[in-house]
Structure 1
């Protein structure tokens, strides 16, 4: 099983640089950051843009894959965003992955004057479709309900061919259909749940639903990576080394290829101890690589 870690874009770079370097040194396969204007309980605190953060991370790492978890059409248009994605793909020398989702109805939409008109899922479907076209064609014209593109150029194209990979966030059937069609990977946060047992049961149900989506379009399951955002569970994955081992075991039993956790924070959301992270890196991650 591959493992990834999310580093929230909330620290000034002289502090954050250490985290990105350490994520690679610890042996994580991928490292991610949130792509939001602000996020939930942290909206009044420090917050930096995802694209420049990942560009900086690209310069201080060599092997680890980097990505957004997740970008959305809440405040992005596919044409300028595709240019930023081409740049990240180039800066990382082909180590960039686009995590993309529909986005919620929180601060990202409120700060832009309210939710965009029309269907949230329809907007998401067009966003992913347009990005796929922009990153695989030299010129793109697209006419949708939410996005219109006129003869957009895409030179020089992606380092990764035919384009950089998409990991598509999906918990519902329409989003799962997008993930099945366009995703190199699928990522789920699981259901909203008050207890750990209910959450894991919901995750199991979602994996079955996504496998049905793959069957529906005749896509082989081995061609799509299954990512689990472990910290959507009511219990933080890095509460202890023993708990992390349990999370790994449960995710593996459900067929997940990739597990994503969050860098422990001092308090509030994802509160935990960096000492636990260090022990996991030293004792557990090497076992996963061997396994």
Structure 2
């Protein structure tokens, strides 16, 4: 079965955002996500709310839909207090929380608390971040002394509802991060290859799918038979998935053929990044029952 999720950017006050999160559940999406940034790219000077309280509020008003971060990173988080946040979100949601987590990009978040780390440092930090988070969320007391983090008798009581902990969906595009996804993740998440802006739109779209297929083959080799789910951010492609419902449906079908069991799209914004018509989201949602009958290609 293929499951489909939707990302809602944290840009609206809860008085308005509440209806949208409820609508995501009503439309039948399997999971709903928000970004975990302090600000983001071209939207840095627009309204942008904190991730954890937003997801806690969404968890309190929804009943069925999975909820998660797409994705959290060590750019501004320490694993000890963040593990407490994860435990809280797991509790409020009744075990529905999924931790999407990545190494952190090179954008605004990377340097807001100090000099941005190099790529190599970022990868080592991410490995330790995952190690400590995994330990914190699977045992009541944790001690750790590493290159980037320390934990001294860090307590996680009563622990999470999800056992042994909430699922980790680890974002990874390169081989080192993919190895971490295979080791710690219940899921591997990707936005696919970086699109080539110099290629015509239709050719760029096909080139993206071809590059994604190569990435899947690479992850298959790294995972070496481990059971790790595949999660695709469909909006990593050159064309926004909800330009039309038909394009989004095609994307889910192609993702399933590559072995992805979970696919994520973005709620259309009025303009700019992810700009589109919400009526296309509604039309796409009407196709979800059929899309769930798809079986991801075995890997």
Question: TM tier, shorter chain?
Answer: over 0.9
CA distance in 2, matches of 1:109, 1:177: 22
Matches within 5 A, 1:37-56: 37-56=38-57
The 3-state SS of whatever aligns with 1:261 is strand
Matches within 5 A, 1:72-83: 72-83=73-84
Matches within 5 A, 1:231-246: 231-246=235-250
CA distance in 1, matches of 2:288, 2:280: 12
What residue in structure 1 maps to residue 218 of structure 2? 209
CA distance in 2, matches of 1:243, 1:73: 34
Q: How many residues align?
A: 285
- Do 2:253 and 2:291's aligned partners in 1 also have CA atoms closer than 8 Å? no
User: What is the CA deviation profile of residues 57-111 of structure 1, one whole-angstrom value per residue up to 9, with x for unaligned ones?
Assistant: 0011000000000000000000000000000000000000000000111111222
- Do 2:252 and 2:291's aligned partners in 1 also have CA atoms closer than 8 Å? no
The 3-state SS of whatever aligns with 1:272 is coil
Q: 1:280 aligns with which of 279, 284, 294?
A: 284
Matches within 5 A, 1:165-244: 165-194=167-196, 195-215=204-224, 218-219=225-226, 223-244=227-248
What residue in structure 2 maps to residue 265 of structure 1? 269
Matches within 5 A, 1:3-42: 3-42=4-43
CA distance in 1, matches of 2:167, 2:245: 31
- Do 2:235 and 2:266's aligned partners in 1 also have CA atoms closer than 8 Å? yes
The 3-state SS of whatever aligns with 1:238 is helix
Quote how far apart the aligned CAs of 1:201 are.
Answer: 1.0
Runs of at least 5 residues in structure 2 that lack an aligned partner in the other structure: 197-203, 295-299
What residue in structure 2 maps to residue 148 of structure 1? 150
What residue in structure 2 maps to residue 101 of structure 1? 102
The 3-state SS of whatever aligns with 1:119 is helix
CA distance in 2, matches of 1:258, 1:15: 28
CA distance in 2, matches of 1:37, 1:9: 10
CA distance in 2, matches of 1:192, 1:241: 23
The 3-state SS of whatever aligns with 1:235 is coil
Matches within 5 A, 1:152-163: 152-163=154-165
CA distance in 2, matches of 1:151, 1:245: 49
Q: Which range moves more in the overlay, 71-80 or 141-150?
A: 141-150
CA distance in 2, matches of 1:106, 1:23: 29
What residue in structure 2 maps to residue 92 of structure 1? 93
User: What is the CA deviation profile of residues 216-256 of structure 1, one whole-angstrom value per residue up to 9, with x for unaligned ones?
Assistant: xx52xxx3210000001110101112111211121111110
What residue in structure 2 maps to residue 123 of structure 1? 125
The 3-state SS of whatever aligns with 2:100 is strand
User: What is the CA deviation profile of residues 254-286 of structure 1, one whole-angstrom value per residue up to 9, with x for unaligned ones?
Assistant: 11001100000000000000000011112x112
